[in-house]
């Protein structure tokens, strides 16, 4: 599933803010109860989607992202395992989403990074940026985020073609899965 498709799956009504934040109904108690139920289910769905994802060739456990002053979103690459007894080449990239037009829209994408992982979830060779060729430190950063709500997703591809993708949990707000810049 592409990141655009993942974002489209989380579209909301125009009067709502990002998932897991619900405005109480003004005059309709039944409507308020239904919105609370929807918020609970949305939070549960985000929690499930943020846990480890198993692919045909291995598993992925995303690391939390954090937001800091100056519109900086920082995230470690996901921890990736192979199901094989020998190390396997994998690639990953990260997507920054901003909540706008009543849905999560991709606003920035990192280059693919490639490394070799083992069945213990360790990057045996470290990761290199596929465009610059530079060895990556553990943290990747998106800079210049303007006021708004932000979240991060990842995409992983193993050497045998298997793929996985999902939402990255927020360090700043783990129960909601996003952060906010004012």
66-97 pLDDT per residue, tens? 999 999 999 988 889 888 888 889 999 999 99
Q: What is the domain count for the chain?
A: 1
Q: Percent of the chain having pLDDT more than 70?
A: 69
Listed residue (12, 179, 7) closest to 109, CA to CA: 7
Q: How many CA atoms lie within 13 A of 147 on its CB side?
A: 1
Residue 79: give its domain's CATH number.
2.60.40.3880
Q: What is the pTM of this model?
A: 0.71
Q: Alpha-carbon distance 169 to 67, whole Å?
A: 12
Mean pLDDT of 85-113: 94
Mean pLDDT of 147-169: 93
Whether 124 shows a pLDDT value over 60: the answer reads yes
**Residue 134 domain boundaries:** 3-181
pLDDT averaged over the chain?
Answer: 75
């Amino acid at each position: 599933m592409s990141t655009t498709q993942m974002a489209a799956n989380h579209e909301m009504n125009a009067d709502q803010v990002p998932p897991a934040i619900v405005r109480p109904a003004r005059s309709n108690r039944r409507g308020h109860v239904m919105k609370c139920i929807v918020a609970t289910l949305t939070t549960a769905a985000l929690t499930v989607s943020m846990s480890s994802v198993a692919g045909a060739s291995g598993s992925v456990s995303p690391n939390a992202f954090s937001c800091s002053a100056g519109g900086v979103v920082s995230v470690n690459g996901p921890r990736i395992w192979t199901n094989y007894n020998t190390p396997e080449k994998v690639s990953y990239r990260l997507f920054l989403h901003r909540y706008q037009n009543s849905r999560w829209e991709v606003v920035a994408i990192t280059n693919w990074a490639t490394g070799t992982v083992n069945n213990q979830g360790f990057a045996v060779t470290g990761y290199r940026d596929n465009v610059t060729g530079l060895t990556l430190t553990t943290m990747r950063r998106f800079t210049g985020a303007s006021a708004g709500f932000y979240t991060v997703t990842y995409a992983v591809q193993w050497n045998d073609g298997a793929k996985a993708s999902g939402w990255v949990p927020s360090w700043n707000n783990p129960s909601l899965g996003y952060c906010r810049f004012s």
